[in-house]
Amino acid sequence: MKQLVKIMGTLGPIVLFFVGVQGFASPLKLDQIFHSTLETNQELKAARSALDQARAWEKEASRRLFPSISFNASVTHQELPGYQTLPPGLAPGVDLFPSRLYGASFDLDQPIYLGGRIWNAWRLREVQREKAEWDLRAAQQKVLAEILQLVWNWSAQSEVLKVLGESKARQEEFVRLTRRRLKTGNAREYELLQGEADLISYEPRMSEIGEHLTSLRKSIEVLAGLPAGSSFPESFFSPSEAKPRVEVSGDFLQRSREHNPELRGAELGIQLARLDREINLGEHRPSVSLRGRWGWSSPDRDDIGSEDGKSSSLTLQLSVPVFSGLTSLEVKRAGQAGIQSAESAFQSALDRQLVRLEEGKTALVASGQRLGQSRQWRQKAEKALAEGIKSYRVGLTSNLQVVQLQAARERAALGEIQSRLDHHVKFLNWKLALGEPVEEWSKALTTPHQKGP
């Protein structure tokens, strides 16, 4: 038994190591990449810190509703004119105007009404916190959309490399057949040379694609915070060949007003401008506060803390501004100008959003149609090439015809890949315009087709 435990203790770390290596080598899913991005991206960390700061300021503003209590200690030295002193014989032993006065007290300050500044300041911080939440969401949308475009580009380039590899393999077969036919006198020397030249042409193209793939992989790893050498799936595109389903009717402007972070931020900017005006105008309005003091005051320091030196006061203070150089009028004008600026910015954002939605919808529908046509083009071109190679093997098709069929098939395959990438990007732009979370709807793009590209 002890020997078995010893063996297990020796093999355990080794087994765990290989399991860890296997887990690390398994292809990453899109949601795993998103999760790593949300956890490690520095731009998102900055947005979250800004939100934490806004929440802290909101709590600080709410604390202004509670009274403030402070402990104060002081020593006052005063020199009084002669008419404020008493003759020594009039009140022996009594010093009504001491030259030095010691004090210690607990002071309370409870604002009751400060022209609306307290409540408006709290509401201002609340709106700023809400805007910080939308700013965080906007940053998440931006970063995840960038990740999504990178993985789609990587998938497209991977498929392009695969298509070129298939074309190269067919070209190698074509060159072998041409050599065989040249020996039997059924082909000419220039046909073989042209076939070999076409075969060589694939090397620089595939090398360039490989370099681009390496760059895209590095960008994904850095932006998403992934370890170097992470394993990716063969493609991040949807495996479905179903026709794209796109919403083309509905009140998209209203939906985007409710969910688009940019529009929500512009709308909150109007509230911030109004609250800022009210806070500034509050300084020119009446205010009421309650102030209390409990402590000690005595010319003799030893009386501090004793019953003899105890003193207290409670004051209900009303302050009514009467004249401040007409600054309140300028404050009001400035506040109104700020509100008008925010309202104009929001209306401008709405106008741009309306154009964005119209253009996005048109582009999305058109790209979906192109994708369907490109798929048919690719299917027919591949079928034509397959039939042409069969005929070439039995001598019914010329070299030139096979070369043309091969080039047509390659153009069709690359065109279909580009159309698929374009449709995915148009779909992404449409969803971003509506303000729908990228991490939610993008799941359907890497699982069996449900909705979208």
The domain spans of the chain are 28-64+101-445
Collect all residues with Cβ–Cβ distance below 8 Å to 363 and sequence separation of at least 6.
426, 429
pTM: 0.78
pLDDT > 90 in the chain, percent:
43
Q: Which of 10-19, 114-123, 197-206, 443-452 shows the highest mean pLDDT?
A: 197-206
Residues 321-328 have a mean pLDDT of: 80
- pLDDT tops 70 at residue 178: yes
- How many C-beta atoms lie closer than 10 Å to residue 432's C-beta? 22
The answer as to CATH 2.60.40.10 being correct for domain 28-64+101-445 is no
- pLDDT tops 90 at residue 392: no
Between these two residues, 74 and 268, which has the higher pLDDT value? Answer: 268
Among the listed residues 108, 118, 117, the one whose alpha carbon sits nearest the alpha carbon of residue 62? 118
Q: What is the pLDDT of residue 448?
A: 36
Q: What is the pLDDT of residue 177?
A: 83
pLDDT > 70 in the chain, percent:
84
Residues 147-158 have a mean pLDDT of: 94
pLDDT-derived band of residue 7, with 50, 70 and 90 as boundaries?
very low
pLDDT-derived band of residue 80, with 50, 70 and 90 as boundaries?
low
- pLDDT tens figures, 100-152: 788 888 998 888 888 788 889 999 999 999 999 999 999 999 999 999 999 99
- pLDDT tens figures, 343-362: 999 999 999 999 999 999 99
Residues 305-326 have a mean pLDDT of: 82
pLDDT-derived band of residue 396, with 50, 70 and 90 as boundaries?
confident
The per-residue b/e assignment along 11-30, b for 16 or more CB within 10 angstroms, e otherwise, is eeeeeeeeeeeeeeeeebeb
Q: What is the pLDDT of residue 24?
A: 43
Residues 278-297 have a mean pLDDT of: 88
